[in-house]
Structure 1
Amino acid sequence: MSTGFPVDPAPGNLGFPPFVPPGDPRDGASGMPTSLGALQPPLADLASSFGPDMAAANAPSRQVPSTSDASSNQLPTAERDASGSAVFDPQLLQETKLQIRAIVNEIARLSRSDTPIEQFWDEFLSRVVSALAAVAGAVWIADDTGRIRLKYQINLSETQVLSDDRRRTPHSLLVKQTFRDAHASLAPPRSGSWAEDEPGNPTDYLIVLAPLPLEDRVHAVVEIFQRPGGGPTTQRGYLRFVVQMCELAIDFLKNHRLRSYGDRQALWNQLEEFVLSIHRGRDLKATSYTLVNDGRTLVECDRLSLALIRNGQPTIEAVSGLDALDRRSPELAALGRLVEQATKLGETTWMSHSAEDLPPQLDEPLREYVELSHSKLIGVVPL
């Protein structure tokens, strides 16, 4: 790991202390702050177990006019008791704690839903950023080839992390490092070796990074940009919260993958039934109509046609949705001419309304058929 990047234990072994209000004398001190819950609270009680510590990190403090400098327009961030500790409004702390608990419950419900994955990242990241009152957030995804790309972001331009290569390069290496090590970490503002081939945090914000391992690799990394100023205890609390929210995201990804497997299995079952029904037929005409009508549903197209090649000439045998064919139909004749030219290529050909980038012999047949059928995309598949 690069110098300046404190890395905490793996997500399954997190034992971070609870949050302490930024500016509180206990923040970063050796004394143990009070907490309403254990170090490893159940997820349902996560927000309440942080107690006033986490709430204070996000809630406004009780402000009073300064009497020491009447000409100053600055108000102190909080009252101080006799020991110098910050005093936060109990009602605001309780309201903030309830808001955080509500956000955690929303993320938990979201993880159990069948929400489309694009919508999930939107709702998940917005709630995590909101709960931490963070500046920005991002979700990075690695595909099967290992290529990393930005999946979703909130206010990322505010951080200027992608504004130029000087910032982009060390940050990119920082994200890649999280994918490689599968380890949650904190990157302090303006930290790193600044070598061209070393990870670093080129921003003025604290970066919180948490991986989402799925099966044998890290599927995604959640990145949160938080305002600097809190001590180590507060920062570790941020990390713990993000990691536990990512555990919910992992549950969603697992469920989503299982649903995908189920959909795929259902498709295979449907395909098997389709093939059996085709082979059961003994009459060419009946079998042809079964193929185009049932096949249209399988390939999810508007119309499926079957052409048979006899003596080198294609004949349209069946068209989905039609019980009988009108051989004098101009549209059917145009389709036959298009199929004739396309099959001469000997390979599957996809055509839109334009013949651009297609062999010249398809230009006129394609234009003629599109004018009659108003099709936007046509595929000819030789068998």
Structure 2
Amino acid sequence: MSTTPATAPASPNSSSGGGSDDARSRYARQIEDAFESAGKLAGSTLSPTEFYQQFLNRTLQAIDAPAGAVWLRTPQGFLQLACQENIDKVGLDTRRGGRQCHNEVLRQVFQTAPPRPILLEPNGRMAPGPGEPGPVPPANLTDHFALFAPILSTEKQPIGVLEVFQDATHDPRMYPTYLNYAFQMAGYASQYHSFSNARVAAGVEKTYAQVETFARHIHSSLNPTEVAYHVANEGRKLIECDRLCVGIRHDRSRVTVEAVSGADVVEKASTHVRRLRLLMQSVLQWGEALTFKGEKDAGLPPAVAHALDEYLHESQPKLLIVQPVRDEREKDKTKPARAVLVLECYNPPEQTDPIVQRLEVVTTHAAPALYNAAEMRRVPLKFLWWPIAKLQDGIGGKGRFIAAAVAVLLAVLVGVMVMVPADLRMEAKGQMLPVEIAKVFPPREGQIQEIRTKPGDTLSPGYEIATLFSSPFADEYGKASNELREANAMVDAAAETLAKATGMKEDDKLRTVAEKKNAEQRRDKALQDLRTQDAQYNAGRPNRLGYFRACAPQFDPQLARPLDRSRWTVLNDDRRENLIGRTLRPNEDIMRLGNLEGAWQAELKIPQRNIGQVLKAFADPDSHLIEKDPVRGDRKYLVVDVLLSSQPDKSYEGRLYRDDVAAEAVPNKNEHDENEPVVTAYVKLNVAGIPEENWVPRNHFITGLEVRTRVRCGKHALGYTLFHGVWEWFYEKVVFFI
């Protein structure tokens, strides 16, 4: 089949038969309506997607075409499908190479000069064009007529192709008419693009308004970071690029990346930002704009070329422009510009001149704003404006000025750390306890029958706390009781025999007297055993057979205490439900008692890493104090700051005596998160010599209350006081092994 161009189509109203005339008349009316609808669509403000969808539907409906498509040129110069209708049902893929031949037809139609419509019959080939032939021949390998009409710009250059597939069942004389119709409809699509370009030109005024708004934003602040973010984010919208970065030079050469469009925070430690900063810095030192369009210029300075290569390893833009931003007030041309912009596009258009022009507009407005902000940044304090600015310039920039200031501050800080003394305080946790604490144990193994106390009860020494029962004890006590009864019976029998011994022989009398003495010895021994058992298990008072008592212990007679308030207090919770009926051994306590009205102390668990400083303070005469005691002699002690958990806003004072520090480290069983050994020590509270305003109020004396303490271990240098742990770690891990 040959290619048929559109030439003088036959009129749809010409007669060649009755049925044919009716079809032509109907198509003529439909085509006129389609032209009217296409004219309205061409002048509308629809988006290209919506326009072409409605345009294609109207084009196909007018001639009852089963399928069609619109192809448009991309910025890279390729044809891309804009919309289609049933294009997959015409059989492009049913024959081998059908899709490739169809694409070659599109390419030939698009490149034909001058542009003209093309009609291909079913299974027809297109005549070779003047252009370069493709890998496959241009052909229509379908069972439909294929109509191709170019969409032109105002300069008569092709910008797209309208494609229509028509059934092969129509009168052959109708197909030229269909081709002419498709060509005229493509003209309406060209009108739509012309009107769109006019609207774009009319939008220039809007662009000027955006530039004015951009200028107001960037001049609204003197903070370099804020100005840079306005330039980056608002400038990217004006330029229509993918990313815009802003860098500012704050000293002689070093550049800081102040803003990256679309990023809230600039991670200055990241590799991408560091390489971006080096690229900005090298371009500023060079003094000219750098433009990269996929190929690096061989004439670039080595520093710029190296920085560009390093940055391209992190980012792969197809268009990269690094533009120095110099304000007109920067008179010294030998110095680098105050700021720099970096523009990046990953899919730029073929013509990049509009982007460069918009970048120049942004640069012109951004230059004074960035210069003002950078100059203001150089002033640390307003009342020190000029002196410090001159000092910075004389030293060599802000970086050197800060370095000198930091050096002076470090020297002063080191002097303070070495020369100023401070108390070295070791921390330890503990709990409040009365000095007199006792645990009540069963005198022997037995089963708890009764507990006569409740939590918080006050008891006198010797008070019966619990009653226990033991079968072995019942056997022992019953055996002693039986022995006593038998011995008494034997004594009474011997005494009665002697009383009636009038005619008794001397030998019998002597034997009876000996038996009486033996019985009396057995009786005395049995009686002594019973009294011993009563004293040991029943507090000297007889009890029921097999039952014995657990009683409150006596107070230590060597400790001074108020006699009228010397009573034990039950410290445990209610344990009756758990203990009654349970058999206890002598090493299992029944109850814990304390003298709450007597002296109190804090039981500390001093970690092993701190006990060395405490012992060192006791050994150093200048670090501890001495208490004169006429009874115990001189006693070394350290002052302890006590903080109660029940009153965390006030500290109290206590004393840690040398003889109250244990000589053995034990595992810390109370804290599961700390496994290091601890040394137990006892801090005395409210003792004579401590000012009464530093005494712990008695209403805060609660057994087991957590306390935090700091043991004062004498005066040391402030640096050692604050960082002694660091020095000890360094000595242990480094110096010791060296």
- The TM-score normalised by the length of structure 1 is 0.57
Partner of 1:284: 222
1:228 to 2:168 alignment: yes
Candidates 152, 160, 165, aligned match of 2:83: 152
In structure 2, what is the Cα distance between the partners aligned to 1:4 and 1:165? 21
Q: Alignment partner for residue 244 of structure 1, among 184, 190, 196? A: 184
- Listed as ranges, the matches of 1:1-383 within 5 Å are 4-9=2-7, 15-19=8-12, 24=17, 52-56=22-26, 97=29, 100-162=31-93, 165-181=96-112, 182-192=115-125, 197-214=136-153, 215-263=155-203, 266-267=206-207, 270-271=210-211, 274=214, 284-285=222-223, 289=226, 292-293=229-230, 296-300=233-237, 308=248, 310=250, 314=256, 335-336=265-266, 338-341=267-270, 342-346=272-276
8 A Cα contact 2:120 2:126, kept in partner:
no
CA contact (8 A) 1:305 1:317 kept: yes
Following superposition, the deviation at residue 340 of structure 1 comes to: 4.1
Q: Is the 8 A contact 1:288 1:306 kept in 2?
A: no
Please tell me the residue identity of whatever aligns with 1:284.
L
**TM-superposed deviation, 1:120:** 1.2
Q: Counterpart of 1:346 in structure 2: which amino acid? A: L
Residue equivalent to 1:74:
none
Shift of 1:162: 4.3
Q: Which amino acid aligns with 2:236?
A: V
What CA distance in whole angstroms lies between the structure 1 residues aligned with 2:75 and 2:261? Answer: 39
Structure 1 pair 307–208 and aligned structure 2 pair: CA distance change class (3 A)? closer
Q: 2:139 and 2:234 mapped to 1: Cα distance? A: 52
CA deviation string 1:12-34 (max 9, x = no partner): xxx3222269984797xxxxx8x
Secondary structure (helix, strand or coil) at the match of 1:114 reads coil
Partner of 1:284: helix, strand, or coil? Answer: coil
CA drift of 1:314 comes to 4.8
Structure 1 residue 298 displacement after superposition: 4.5
Instruction: Report the alpha carbon displacement of residue 339 of structure 1 after superposing the two structures with TM.
Output: 3.4
The structure-2 alpha-carbon separation of the partners of 1:165 and 1:172, relative to structure 1 and needing over 3 Å to count, comes to farther
- Larger strand percent: 2
| Native 8 Å contact 2:232 2:261 kept in 1 | no
Q: Which stretches in structure 2 are left out of the alignment for 5+ residues?
A: 129-134, 280-311, 315-340, 344-738
Question: For 2:176 and 2:15, how far apart are their aligned partners in 1?
Answer: 12
Q: Which amino acid in 2 is paired with 1:220?
A: G
If the length of structure 2 is used for normalisation, what is the TM-score? 0.31
Q: Aligned to 1:210, what secondary structure does the other structure show?
A: strand
**1:168 offset after TM fit, Å?**
1.6
Residue 269 to residue 162, structure 1, CA distance change in 2 (3 Å): farther
- Counting aligned pairs with the same residue, the percent is 19
The structure, 1 or 2, with the larger RCO (C-alpha pairs under 8 Å, 6+ apart) is 1
Deviation at 1:239, TM superposition (A): 1.4
Rounded to whole Å, the distance in 2 between the matches of 1:316 and 1:177 is: 51
Q: CA deviation at 1:290?
A: 5.6
Contact 2:121 2:144 in 1 (8 A): yes
Q: Name the CA shift for 1:164/1:259 in 2 (closer, same or farther; >3 Å).
A: farther
Q: Secondary structure at the match of 2:162?
A: strand
* Preserved contact between residue 20 and residue 56 of structure 1 (Cα < 8 Å): no
User: Could you tell me how far 1:254 is from its partner in structure 2?
Assistant: 1.1
Q: Mark the CA change 1:318 to 1:237 in structure 2 (over 3 Å): closer, same or farther.
A: closer
In the alignment, structure 1 segments of 5+ residues that lack a partner are 10-14, 28-32, 34-51, 58-95, 321-330, 349-356, 360-380
Deviation of the 1:232 alpha carbon: 3.5
Question: Distance between the aligned counterparts of 1:21 and 1:169, measured in 2?
Answer: 38
Q: Is the 8 A contact 1:21 1:56 kept in 2?
A: no
- 1:119: how far off? 1.4
Distance of aligned partners of 1:313 and 1:233 in 2 relative to their CA distance in 1, 3 Å threshold: closer
- When residues 22 and 136 of structure 1 are mapped into structure 2, their CA distance, relative to the original with a 3 A threshold, is farther
Asked if structure 2 preserves the Cα contact closer than 8 Å seen for 1:209 and 1:221, the reply is: yes
Is the 2:102–2:139 contact (alpha carbons within 8 Å) kept by the matching residues of 1? yes
Deviation at 1:122, TM superposition (A): 0.9
Shift of 1:107: 1.7
